Homo-oligomer: A and B are copies of this chain.
Amino acid sequence: MPNLRYVVALALASLALAAPAPAAEEARMRLRDLGISIGHYPTGKFNAITDVAGVKVGHHTLAGPPGTPIHTGVTAIVPRDDVWNKKVFASQFRLNGNGEMTAAHWIEEAGWLETPILLTDTLSIPQVSDGVVTWMENHYPDMGLGDDVVIPCVAECDDSFLNDQRGRHNLGAHAMTAIEQAKSGPVAEGAVGAGTGMTSFRFKGGIGTSSRMVSKEDGGYTIGILVNCNMGTRGDLRIDGVPVGQEIPQLMPKSKPSEGSIIMVLATDAPLLPHQLNRMCRRMAMGLARTGTTAHHGSGDIAIAFSTATVVPHYPKELTMPVNAINNTHLDPLFDATIECMEEAVDNALCMAKTTVGRDGNTVYALPYPELRKAMRKHGHPVK
C-alpha cells in the first residue's frame, strides 16, 4: 500500500516545514568571506554553477526541527531551459562507484544529457526519478506516444545518519518543485536541498558551489561546479593544503556516520566534445583529492560534466550539425580552473553548512570558524 506511506510522508514533511526555526541560528559564510580563496582564476559573478549562462539550480528542503527524523531534500540542476529539445554534450566519470547516478549508459553512449540532474538521498532516487518523469510528461505531452521516453539522471548520497532515509520523504512532487523553482543567480549552499542531511569530513556537509573564468585569450569561458558533499574522514580534511582536519579533532559526531559519497556536477560554456567533458570529470576528481578525501570503498564519488556551448537537437531532420569544438591543446586553463573550482566548491559546502541535529539526536557540527582561522594562520595561510 504505497499510498499510505505517501500520506504519512507528506504529513511528516508538512510538520517539518511548519516548525519554527532554531532560536539562535548561526550565521554562515562562504570560504572567500573568510579571506580564503583557492587558486588564481577569477570567479564568476556569483561564484556559483549558475555563472554559466542558462544554468539554473533549485532546492526543495525537508528539514524538521532539531532532533526530528526528517532532514533531507532534493536539488535540481537545470542545464538550460527545454534541455530535452536542446540537449547538452555530457559525460560521466566514476572515481568510486558506491553510489548511483542514473542514465549512465545513455549519457556515455549518446554523449549528451537531455534532462535536469537531480540530487537526493539514496532511497529517494526512485520517487525523485518518478517526479522527473511526471515533470517531463507534463512538459512533453507526446512523450511515450510519438516522442521518445525519458531516462532521468538522478544521483544520490546517503544521509541516513541525520535523516530517516527509510521513510523516503523526498517525493516526486518535491523533485518537480525543485525543477520548477530552479533559477539563475546565487545558489543556496550547505544544509539545503539534497545537502540537508549530508556529513562531510565528520562536519556538516551538503551543497557547495563555485565558479571560475578563464582569460579572454583562453576563450573567456566560465566553469561552474556544484557538489553535494557527504564524504571524508576528519583527519583527511585539507583546505588549500592546510591540514585543517588534523587541527580540529573536536566536534566529532558521537557515532560514525555512514561512509561518504560526493556528487560532482560541472557546467561550462566552453565548447567541449563529449570525450573532452570526460577529461573534465577526471579533473574534478583531482580537485576532490586536494580536499584530502580518499574515496573510501563506501563512497560514491561520481562526476558529470556538461557543456552548454552546443545545442544538440532532438530528432533533427538535418543529417549533421555544426559544432564548434575547443582544440585539445587549449584545454589546460580549463583543467586548471576545474581543479581549483572543485576544491572551493567543497570548501563552500563545509563553510556554509549549519550544525544539524537529526534523527535520534544524531548531531553533526558545522565547521567552526575560529578553529578554522587558527589552523590557517598556524600554517601561514592568509585568513580574515
B283, A109: Cβ atoms closer than 8 Å: no
A306 within 8 A of B: no
Indicate the size class of the contact surface on chain A: 35 or more
Bound-state CA distance A238–B98 (Å) is: 29
Whether A125 is near chain B, meaning CB under 8 Å from some CB there, is yes
Does A20 sit at the interface, judged by CB under 8 A?
Answer: no
Picked from B95, B137, B290, the residue with its CB within 8 Å of the CB of A290 is B290
Interface members, chain A 217-233 (any B CB < 8 Å): 218-219
Q: State the oligomeric state as a number of copies.
A: 4
Give the complex CA separation of A97 and B104 in angstroms. Answer: 9
Give chain B nearest CB distance to A63 CB in angstroms: 18
- Complex Cα distance, B322 from A106, in Å, reads 26
User: Which B residue sits closest to A381, measured CB to CB?
Assistant: B379
Q: Does A181 contact B (CB under 8 A)?
A: no
Verify A328–B151 contact, CB threshold 8 A: no
How long is the Cα–Cα vector from A350 to B156 in the complex, in angstroms?
Answer: 38
A191 at the interface (CB under 8 A from B): no
Q: How far is the CB of A243 from chain B (nearest CB, A)?
A: 6
Verify B127–A144 contact, CB threshold 8 A. Answer: no
Residue contact A166 to B151, C-beta cutoff 8 Å: no
The reply to whether A295 and B145 form a contact with Cβ atoms under 8 Å apart is no
- The main secondary structure of chain A at its interface with chain B is mixed
Across the interface, name the chain B residue whose C-beta is closest to A127.
Answer: B130
Known: A96-B279, A98-B110, A105-B104. Contact between A218 and B274, CB under 8 A? no
Is A173 positioned at the interface, with any CB of B under 8 Å from its CB?
Answer: yes
Within the complex, what minimum Cβ distance (angstroms) separates A343 from chain B? 10
In the complex, A330 has a CB within 8 A of chain B: yes
Q: Which of these, B143, B149, B156, B298, contacts A148 with CB under 8 Å?
A: B298
| CB 8 Å contact bits of A119-156 with B (1 = contact, 0 = none) | 00011011111101110010000011100111110001
Comparing A27-35, A42-50, A201-209, A312-320, the segment that makes contact with chain B is A312-320
Q: Select which of B149, B312, B332, B381 is within 8 A of A122 by beta carbon.
A: B149
Q: Across the A-B interface, give the 7 residue pairs with the lowest CB-CB distance, nearest first.
A: A97-B109, A241-B241, A126-B130, A289-B289, A97-B105, A126-B129, A286-B289
